[in-house]
Every structure is written in C-alpha cells, then in structure tokens.
Amino acid sequence: MWACNSGTQTDTLEKMEAEEAVSVSEADMSEETTLSLDGTLLYDKIITQKLQEYVDLQNLLIEHPEFRGELQKSLEQLARDSLIFSANEAVTISDITRMDDAEIVSDSLKRIPFSFNIVTESGTRKDSLIAVIRTKTVQIDGVNMDSYKISFEPQ
C-alpha cells in the first residue's frame, strides 16, 4: 500500500482498492432515497459517485505522477478502453444531467447518456458520456441485494 500524507489521498486510494460494484438492499435505502419505477434516482446517484471517483483518481494522478501505473489501471476500469478525458490540470465536475432515457439492452444492462461540465482553472467546457450499468442480484446472509457495476464510454 502507498504512504500518503493527506487524508483525502488515503481515502481515494482506499476507494481504488475497493470493489467496483455498489450494492443496495431495500433495508439500506432511506425514505429520502425513494426510487422511481425505473430506478432513475438510484442510477443518477451511482453515475455521479463513479464520475466523481474518476475525477478524484485523475486529480491524484496529476498530483502524484509516480503512481501512474496503479492509477492508470483504475481509471481504465472505469472508462473501459480509453480515458474519458485527459487533463493536465486538476478538474472538478458540475451539472451532471441525464440527456435521454436509459437504453435497456437487457434485464441486467442499461446504457444512460448524460452530460456534465468540466471545470478547470482555464475555464469550463461541456462534455457527455454514456454510463454502462450492469445489474446483478446477489444473496448475502439470506438477503437479496442488487449489485451495480458501472463504467463509462464515449458518446
């Protein structure tokens, strides 16, 4: 494991080592997280979290190029074959917006196009991606839970 001085860097590295799937059971959802029939709010939240994880990894790579090999693998897992966007300076993401309804490829695979703003010191630009969400029901301690794996691909 890497030695880091900052809590944020340590948190990011721990996220990298964590499994990519996000699991949610009915017991885990509060009343505030009420879902629409198609899971829209849940999918939007997962997309936002994973895109932010990607940006955090990208920013860590800029700050610590000595971790390029390890960080590159994690970035590529989230972005499939190529990086979503390359940045030579730290970025933040804002205004994540679904562009269209989810394309239901199968019971376990959905593709959701969305747009967002990339904010850097140089300025702001709009970009878009497709979130590919794979759903799998797993049983843990006798409780059925949905596991979501997400990756991004260019639109």
Angle between helices 40-63 and 68-79 (to 10 degrees): 160
Pick the more confident residue, 46 or 1.
46
- pTM of the model as a whole: 0.66
Q: What is the rounded distance in angstroms from the CA atom of residue 43 to the CA atom of residue 34?
A: 12
Segment 55-67, tens digit of pLDDT:
888 888 888 888 8
pLDDT score of 8? 41
- Residue 41, C-beta contacts closer than 8 angstroms, at least 6 positions apart: 33, 34, 35
Percent of the chain residues past pLDDT 70, beyond the cut? 69
Residue 120 has pLDDT above 70, yes or no: yes
Helix (H, G, I), strand (E, B) or coil at 140: strand
pLDDT greater than 90 at residue 109: yes
